Amino acid sequence: MKITKLLAYQVDLPLHEGRYNWSGGKSVAVFDSTVVRIETDEGVVGHGEVCPLGPVYLPSYAAGVRAGLAELGPHLIGADPLSLGALNRLMDSRLKGHPYVKSAVDMACWDILGQRAGEPVSTLLGGRHGEDVILYRAISCEAPEAMAARVADYRAEGYSRFQLKVGNDPDTDIERIRAAAAKLKPGDRLVADANTGWLPHEAMRVVRAVRDLDVYIEQPCATYEECLSIRRHCDHPFVLDESIDDIGTLLRAHADGAMDVANLKISKFGGLTKTRLARDLCVEMGVAMTLEDTWGGDIVTAAIAHLAHSTPEAFRFTATDFNSYVTRDIADGAPRRKNGRMAASTAPGLGVAPRAEALGEPALVIDRAA
Ligand code: MG
């Protein structure tokens, strides 16, 4: 099989809640997502999606996806989408770094492979574990009482895992964590995700001030070394996210005992192929995972569902259903949250069919080899 055409579509994804706020006053109102469509000489068509969390979360940005695809795309014409290892090596040999650019291409090729095999991507990634996947709800940074109220509201929707966006003023963050923790019920899990927002002295104050609470601490500081230092001074379960962006950092963090949970985002690693490797290493090393992406709509959510559903349940700390945060449905067949959980599609491939009217005209069409 050969890739004959690559198209990219720009899609705006507004939020039901209007805005999403996280550390350092950072905020997004409308997410800028890119859907990739890959056509082949055998008529099989695959789709992928990538959506950076704005331009200042990771070294990635929405327009950079499209610019990167314009650079990379001509090298993919004529390549075999079924040979995912070779395809990833080809992408890495033609564009150094920029894993997020490659993520939607790799995802679309998994969709093609699944359709060709007649199997859902979750089967190809290792097989389904359990009936469904437990989701977490990210709680946008607001005043402490408003965030605590959200915990109760989201529990009413079926969620039992709550990720508070903190990483702003440490005194208010302590109040945020305390107010939210007061709303927890048995079996709930609370994560305080500072998204690199605290300096080490601030992080030290926060973890001391909430020491009596059952709360996970996620990525308190900007650098790996700063996070490791906080980790060694606190006894909360500890999650690393922004610092874990490739296999090398994952192995180093495990060797240093720097985390209990790793947050694996598909586009951070550059697609499902490399995230599967990270996932499988975490299972071997005994590290639980949050399985997700930097944001997205129906196609990203479908890919997360396949990755998470094919991960042994004991290692699935949680996952995300981004398509329930945004107001636009861009594909049919995507998983829909039910009682705080979602299940991967059992249809071949990713199991999604993008809606032509939601995608509009392509922002990029590549049908000639480099
Ligand atoms: Mg995080």
Asked if 265 is an active-site residue, the reply is: yes
| Annotated active-site residue in 26, 102, 183, 265 | 265
Say what the pLDDT of residue 340 is.
96
Say what the pLDDT of residue 345 is.
98
Domain boundaries, the chain: 3-118+356-366, 123-342
Say what the pLDDT of residue 333 is.
98
Global pTM exceeds 0.85: yes
Say what the pLDDT of residue 125 is.
98
Q: How far is CA 316 from the centre of its chain?
A: 14
Please, are residues 267 and 52 in contact by the beta-carbon 8 Å criterion? yes
Residue 244 CA to ligand 1 center (angstroms) comes to 10
Report helix, strand and coil shares of the chain as percent, to nearest 5.
40, 25, 40
Q: Which CATH superfamily is domain 3-118+356-366 in?
A: Enolase-like, N-terminal domain (3.30.390.10)
240-287 pLDDT per residue, tens:
999 999 999 999 999 999 999 999 999 999 999 999 999 999 999 999
Residues 6+ apart with CB under 8 A from 191: 136, 161, 162, 163, 164, 215, 216, 217, 218, 239
Say what the pLDDT of residue 21 is.
95
Say what the pLDDT of residue 173 is.
98
Concatenated DSSP letters of 129-187:
-SS-EEBEEEE----HHHHHHHHHHHHHTT--EEEEE--S-HHHHHHHHHHHHTT--TT
Q: Which residues of the chain have pLDDT under 50?
A: none
Residue 35 CA to ligand 1 center (angstroms) comes to 23
| Annotated active-site residue in 165, 183, 268, 274 | 165
Q: Which CATH superfamily is domain 123-342 in?
A: Enolase-like C-terminal domain (3.20.20.120)
CA distance 29 to 217: 26
Asked if 165 is an active-site residue, the reply is: yes
Q: How far is CA 226 from the centre of its chain?
A: 23
163-203 pLDDT per residue, tens:
999 999 999 999 999 999 999 999 999 999 999 999 999 99
CA distance 176 to 159: 19
Residue 138 CA to ligand 1 center (angstroms) comes to 9
